[in-house]
Structures are given as structure tokens and as C-alpha cells.
A and B are shown apart, each in its own frame.
Chain A
């Protein structure tokens, strides 16, 4: 009797972690894009990298509730690590990716004690400060990083020893999508694991989580490190697929863009990172085709309207005319 009810309870708890039919279809469709839309391969590659970056922020912001205005620090760390590794050690992309991930993860682990303390404002300032410090360092050691001109001469070897990165970015887009899928798969496992559940509890009420005897700080540190590692993977992918790194990877606008993409897609939901990345990149492409110089104005306007009206109401037009209680 109790064994049976245990089993149903277990089944109910596990239900959200099961893969749905629409998810499988979605991923198959995503996998088909480099073949179907081959002409847009560079854009697909860019979106895949950006989506991976947005996913990493989704993990720490959407699931663990850590606000960060300096996530580009880890993106840049991964990008520079992969670039330097390819230039000075060996050009294999997969090993380079691993190096990028490890460097970003180490940096994340080292900086995580600074994140767990203080209020939101402190956290915003500290994360932003970390990214700015890294940018200044990259600028200072321009004999290693190339400074503001970027790092020249990053040559990436063929993927798996066989597929050369071509100018049409077809191999690059498949590579980035594959890494994105692996990361998504692992993250999906992570957020439905006990650790993931405890993170969401912690985001909602930190005091209660510590009251039931879970270590808040250790969990935050772990998730921050994982998020940093994923951001590093995204940065390494960018270096490898473009063969170029510059100070741009550490700049503030990168942290702000990824935050914006995540907010458009909706944080605390893994597909939010994907949807937001696609929406942001497409919007960016369209707007900069119309007004090259002033597209930030429209992004800003969009952001202001989005925040004033609220995401829920803006994207669910059928609720515009209802006095829904849950909206305010």
C-alpha cells in the first residue's frame, strides 16, 4: 500500500523532468536548421552561442536568483583561454573548448565567495566590478591578449580531425548547436535534480531553506561555478568559430545584452534562454538593418515598455482586457 503510494508520488515528482514530444520535435527542428537554412549559417552559429550564454545566465539568475551584471567575465575568460590555448599549445577545438570551460569554472569558483554575500545592489556592483577588472587586465596585458586590437593568429584545427571550419560557417553552426544541445541536456538534468529543486527553493525563500538545514552558500557557489563554466563554453565557441578574440568579449554591453535576452525569453525556464536568444538576435538583425546607428534606442524603448507593462501581459495579448488578479 505505502509502497504503491510512494511509487505514484515518485512518478508525480519525476513527471516534469520527462522529455515531452514537443521538445523532441523542437530539437529535431533546431538540428535541421543548418541544413535547411544553410545560407544563414553564420547567424545560426551566433544565435547558438548566444543561447548557450543565455542558458548559463538562466541557471544562476532564473533558478538560483543571483543577479549579475558581469556575466561577460566568464564568457571572456573562456574566449581568451580558448584563443590562447589554440595559439600556443594545440589547435584542436574540442580540447580548446574543454580548456575554456575549465578556466571559466575555476574563475567562477574563485569569485563565487564574493557573490554569496550582501544585497542585490552589492551583488550587481561586485559582478560588474569583476567583469570590469578582467577587461582592464586584458587591456593592460596587451602583449598577451592583443588588447584593443584583438588577438591575431588564432588558427583552429579541423573538428574531430576531419571537418575544417569553413567560411560559410556550416561546420561551425553544427558544432555550436551540438555543444548547445549537450549543455541543455545536462542543465535539464541538473535543474530537475534535488540540487536544482533546492536552488529554486532558495531563490524563493532563502531564510526558510537555511532553516531546514541546507547550506545556502555552498549551493550558490556550486551553481555559480556551473554557470560560469557554461558561459566559458560559449566564449570558447565564439573564439573557435570566428578565429578571433578582442576586448569586446568582456565589455559591459555583452552582460547587458544577455540579461536582456533572458528577460525577453523569461528567466527560470530553460527554454526562456533559447527563445530570448533567438528573439534578441533576430530583433537586433532587423533593427540594425533599418537603423544601423540608432538601434539601441528601439532596444531601450522595448525594454522600458516590457518592464512597465510586465512580461506576462505583453506576451499574452488575450489577457489585455481582463482584470486578472494574478497580473499585478
Chain B
């Protein structure tokens, strides 16, 4: 019964996670628009989801976005920023029988520069996920190494490392991450290093515990009795098994890191604009909460869905890999 539920969680979590990862990976191809493009920002600013605007290309190289266009005998009448004005046919490059030949739809609305929110969400997800995955990879590497050294090394090393881990775990993570990011440097790479560098302690603990448990087991004792060198015991007999419980933890960790990254970027110390990440998309929207709720609201939904996906996946993995837990 728990086995089955584990699979159910796994399926749902896996599906959501996969979908989000695919969407982020495919952002260059599936984004409706270029996430950085600002066509006629004065007119396209803060348009609600579903807005459709006419694209008027002018001979002088400028582009206007109009709420409505009307073909006239001499050219085009354009409604922009609340007023109508006429343009002679010679000035408009993309004149068509029904006004103009191009229209743009913003499925999730636009932000303060008239950029497409949907595209920014996709590209922002790419950045947020990339940062989170790299940071977790870093944290896993550090954590497994340190945990293994503590578990396999001499007792003194173990004691020193574990007290260090205790001390670092006493910091509320966000305070630590912020202090480091604020004083050192901000940016995407810095965010990876900071999040990875402050996220390994739990991994180290888990690894150490598992290593200690495995070390006492019969087959390891046997290998030792047969004269296998310590490094061989570590890498062949202990570590491959010690990392198994980490799978579930990793999935949870990714979700957690996405949350921390978004808070970091929201507070202005993570990924720096104009590179979009979910956290700074929300920060962008905070100033205009009253005018354009969608700018701040939608990235939050994206974060919640993604983190939920990873949490379900982690839960499912734990249920499947460790039948004791229910």
C-alpha cells in the first residue's frame, strides 16, 4: 500500500518536474516573444493577460504598438495611448487591407517595459532552475566529500568537521546567504556558489550517518578482513551505497534551493537584472502591485508549482527507496 502511494507521488512529482524542466529547456523555442524585447514601451506597458496589439512598422525604423488600427484611403489611423492619429501610407511599412499585417498577443500580459511576461517566465525559469540545479550539485559534492571524510576518517577529524557543521547549521540559512551575497558579490554564478556553499551541511550529516552505518555491516567488515585498502573500501563498498538515501533528499533540496534563490533575488542579492529569474520578476512586480498584479503574481505560481513538483518527487522517492517511512 505505501509502495503504491509512493509510486503515485513519484508519478505526479516526476510529471510536474519533467514538464517544468522541459519548458525551461525549450524556452528559446516555445517563448511567444523575445523576453528582452521592448517594442514601444510607452504603449505596451502593463497590459493585462490576453492583450492583443497591432504592430505598426514605421519608415523611420520605429515600431508602434496600437490598441486598434483602421485603414483609411490615405493611410492608417492608429489608436495609441488613448488617442487616435493618422499616418500617411508612405510612413507605414506593413500596411495591409485590414490595417496592418502583424499583431502581437501577450498571453500573460506585459511588464513595465512592455516585455512579454510569459516569455520572461519561461526564460526566468531557465535561470532559476539552472542556478538551483548547479547549486545543489555543488552542495552534494561538498556534502558527500565532507561527510565521507568525517565518517571514514579519524575521530578527531570527524569531531572537528561535525562541530563546524553544527555551527553553520545554527545560522538561519537566509541570513547566512544574504550576508555572503551582500558582502561578496551578486550575480548568477555568485548565487550558485553562495547557495551551494551554504547548502551542504545536511548532505554531509546524512552521508556521514550512512557511512558509519555501512562501515559496521558484515560485507564491509569482510572486505576489510580480506585486506582491501581503505580507499577501495570507501569508494567501492561504502560510498555507492551511502548516497542512495540522498536521492530523495536531493529532490527536496532542489525545491528548497529554488525557494531560497527566489527570496535572495527578491531581496536584490541574487541574480541581477536584466537577467530574469523568478525571484527578481516578483521584485519587479512588487512596485506595481496595484497596477499590474500579474507581474508579481504569476512568477510566484511558477515557483510554487515547481517546488511542489520537486517535493512530490522527493516524497515519492523516499517512499519507494525507504519503505520504512510512510
Please say whether chains A and B are actual partners in one complex.
no
Name A's B-contacting residues (CB within 8 A): none
Name B's A-contacting residues (CB within 8 A): none
